[in-house]
Each structure stands twice: as structure tokens, then as C-alpha cells.
Amino acid sequence: MRLLVTGAAGLLGGNLLSTMSGSHELVGIDRNNVSIPGASIHVTDLLNSAGIEHIVESSKPSTVIHCAGATNVDWCELNPKKAYELNVQVTKKLVDICNTHDIKLVFISTDAVFDGLNSKPYDELDIVNPLNVYANTKIEAERNVMAVPRNLIIRTNIFGFNIREKYSIAEWILYSLFNDKEIKLFNDVYFSPILVNEVAPILERLISYEAIGVYNVCSSNSMTKFEFGRYIKNIFEISKGKIVEASIDDFDFKAPRPKKMNMSGEKLGKQCDIELYTVEENLDKFKILYINGYHKKLKEYNR
Ligand SMILES: NC(=O)c1ccc[n+]([C@@H]2O[C@H](COP(=O)([O-])OP(=O)(O)OC[C@H]3O[C@@H](n4cnc5c(N)ncnc54)[C@H](OP(=O)(O)O)[C@@H]3O)[C@@H](O)[C@H]2O)c1
């Protein structure tokens, strides 16, 4: 496949390109410079729509995987216009460019589109109800993406290792503990995160199955953020640092957040014969990556 990945220097984009390297023809776009073996990277701002159109036309991908966006939930709350521009208008522009050139667009959305009040894990048919600006922009972007029948939306929550000096939740927990810090983790926020490296084979399968519409890409169970941290501390056998249980109600975030983001990946299993792993299994794989030095290898791609 010839794939174009936006957000190439980000957590998902960077790991997709690193993981798929050698199996596909890969083109990446980001406003930050990274150098990923096997991928041709264009350093450009997606707000420059003429530039994007040129890159798409010249690289002729069969699929564009759109990972870039404004991903900091509190920043979005404080900068709603900029968040709209990045998450909605840029996505709409990509929808139009891809539609014109008969290219499939895969849009990466989030578990945050829900209000967290469901008593069971969210599936793809559940009604969205955004609690914050970030979630609102993702839902509006989803609607634009869905206007073209061939397109695909992934709702997810990811963790893993970054190329740049940014921390996913798992890295933040791991390095805080290594540095003997005390951190607070919520015992009342549930999620079903997936190791970012596991997303690549799932996307490959979905694209090869010509899947359309919405799919949850997640782990097969859920846990609280506190349990997530405690599991990391245990499997890495870290005696330093401390994890303190906390309630999200005691934190004064700029953006309100859902408490229960439990997702169901059953559709993925049933329709694409994909086996999802538990959060624990995903974290075990995260540890294996660390032991194998994957985190160090990624840092070599940072320019
Ligand atoms: N991380 C999660 O747990 C999570 C959960 C649910 C959904 N998602 C979704 O998954 C997707 C990927 O998330 P992620 O964690 O990989 O995000 P990320 O690490 O923030 O990566 C996004 C990348 O896009 C770049 N970018 C942003 N605006 C750009 C622009 N105008 N032009 C060019 N590049 C631009 C960012 O650069 P800067 O760093 O300079 O902004 C960054 O390198 C996002 O759509 C996010 O909403 C993520």
C-alpha cells in the first residue's frame, strides 16, 4: 500500500510509520522534523492547504491516515478557535482533497466523544455527547469524514513511546517512578487504552478489508488510571516513586472530562477477525518494547 500519514512526529503517526516501515510505501507530514527509516517525511504546516494538496497529489497515496491535530484537551478548551481550525477545518480540507482524488481517508478520533455516563462499554452505535471543546471538534470532524462513504473512523485511546520529548500517559508514569516522584492517578476514571504499536496491524487489516464507518480500536477490557499505573509499577518492578490514588473531582481541569471511557472492541473482532488484548497484555508488550530498547531507537528518529 502507499500510505500518507499526517502527524508523523506524533505518538500515533510516528509509531505507525516506524512499525509499517518496510511493508508499505510511506509518506509522512508533520510540522516537526523527524527522520523515520523507510518513510519520506514532509515538514509542513497542515494549515497550509495548498501545500497539503500538492503533497497528496505528488505522493499519490491509496489511503491517507490523518493522525495530526490539536490533542491537548485543556489547550483546546482555552483556544477553541484554533482547535476548530486544526481539528475540523484541516480535516474537512483533507476530506475534500481525498474525495477529489478517490483516496480513502482514515480519521483518528477518540473515546472522549462520549459523556462517560454509560453503564456498559461504549460501542460504535452509542450516542456521542461531548463534554469539552476537543471532543466537539472531533465529532464535527467525524461528521465531515463520514460524508464520504469510503472513509473510515477509528475511535481510540493510545499509549506507548514517543519519538520526541513528549510523554504518553504510560511514559509519564514510568519515568516519574524511575525518577522517584510521587504521582496522583485517578481511581474514578476508566479507560480501555491500546499500545500504539498494536494499532498498525489493526489499521492494515481494516484497510485491506475495505472497512468503512466507525470502529473502536482499544483493549478488550478496561481499568482505572490508578490501576494502570499500579500495573506498570509492578511489571517494571520499580521500588522507587509512589502512586497516590486520587479522584478527578478534586482536580480543576480547564476542560471537563468523562469518567467512564470503557470501550467495546467487539465489532473489530467480529467483522475483521481481530483479536484484541487486555490492557494488562498491552502493558506487558509495552515493557517488552522497553527491554528491547525500542524507546531509544525511536529517539534516534528525532531531528
Ligand atoms: N493520545 C491519545 O491517547 C489519544 C486518544 C484518543 C484519540 N487520539 C487521537 O489520535 C490522533 C493522534 O494522537 P497523538 O497522541 O499521536 O497526537 P500527538 O502526539 O499530539 O501527534 C499529533 C502530531 O500532529 C502534529 N500537528 C499538529 N498540528 C499540526 C499542523 N497544523 N501541521 C502539521 N502537524 C501538526 C503535532 O505537532 P505538535 O506537537 O507541534 O502539535 C504532532 O506531531 C489525534 O487525532 C488524537 O486526537 C489520541
What's the CA-to-centroid distance between 6 and ligand 1, angstroms?
9
DSSP 8-state secondary structure symbol assigned to residue 86: I
> What pLDDT score does 140 carry?
98
Tens-digit pLDDT profile for residues 123-149: 999 999 999 999 999 999 999 999 999
Minimum-distance ligand 1 atom for the alpha carbon of 157 = 5
Give the C-alpha separation, 241 to 243, whole Å.
7
Q: Is the pLDDT of residue 303 over 90?
A: no
Minimum-distance ligand 1 atom for the alpha carbon of 169 = 3
Tell me whether residue 64 is in a domain. yes
Tell me whether residue 295 is in a domain. no
Q: With bands split at pLDDT 50, 70 and 90, how would you rate the model's confidence at 232?
A: very high
Find all residues with CB under 8 Å of 10, minimum gap 6, and list them: 30, 67, 68, 71, 162
Tell me whether residue 175 is in a domain. no
Pocket of ligand 1 (CB under 6 A): 7, 9-13, 30-32, 45-47, 67-69, 71, 86, 108, 110, 156-158
Q: Is the pLDDT of residue 90 over 90?
A: yes
Tell me whether residue 296 is in a domain. no
Closest C-alpha among 157, 180, 151 to residue 170: 157
Domain count, the chain: 1
Q: With bands split at pLDDT 50, 70 and 90, how would you rate the model's confidence at 15?
A: very high
Tell me whether residue 181 is in a domain. no
Tens-digit pLDDT profile for residues 35-63: 999 999 999 999 988 889 999 999 999 99
Q: Which of 4-18, 47-61, 74-88, 92-106 has the lowest mean pLDDT?
A: 47-61
> What pLDDT score does 49 carry?
81
What is the domain extent for residue 76? 2-168+192-222+262-279
Backbone dihedral angles phi then psi of residue 133, each to the nearest 5 degrees? -60, -45
Mutating to test ligand 1, I would choose from 27, 31, 84, 138 the residue with most ligand atoms within 8 A of its C-beta, which is 31
Average pLDDT, stretch 199-221? 97
What's the CA-to-centroid distance between 259 and ligand 1, angstroms?
22
> What pLDDT score does 3 carry?
98
What's the CA-to-centroid distance between 80 and ligand 1, angstroms?
16
Minimum-distance ligand 1 atom for the alpha carbon of 9 = 43
What's the CA-to-centroid distance between 114 and ligand 1, angstroms?
19
The protein residue with its alpha carbon nearest to ligand 1, atom 18, reads: 10
Find all residues with CB under 8 Å of 63, minimum gap 6, and list them: 1, 2, 3, 4, 103, 104, 105, 106, 207
Report the length, in residues, of the chain. Answer: 303
Tell me whether residue 24 is in a domain. yes
Share of the chain above pLDDT 70, in %: 100
Tell me whether residue 61 is in a domain. yes
Q: Give the domain CATH number at 124.
A: 3.40.50.720
Residue 278 DSSP SS3? coil
Share of the chain above pLDDT 90, in %: 97
Find all residues with CB under 8 Å of 48, minimum gap 6, and list them: none
Minimum-distance ligand 1 atom for the alpha carbon of 159 = 3
Q: Please tell me whether the overall predicted TM-score, pTM, comes out greater than 0.95 for this model.
A: yes
> What pLDDT score does 4 carry?
98
- Cα angle, residue 240 at apex, residues 234 and 242 outer, rounded to 5°: 75
Q: With bands split at pLDDT 50, 70 and 90, how would you rate the model's confidence at 228?
A: very high
Tell me whether residue 255 is in a domain. no
Q: Are the CB atoms for 101 and 4 separated by under 8 Å?
A: no
Average pLDDT, the chain: 97
What's the CA-to-centroid distance between 254 and ligand 1, angstroms?
19
What's the CA-to-centroid distance between 55 and ligand 1, angstroms?
19
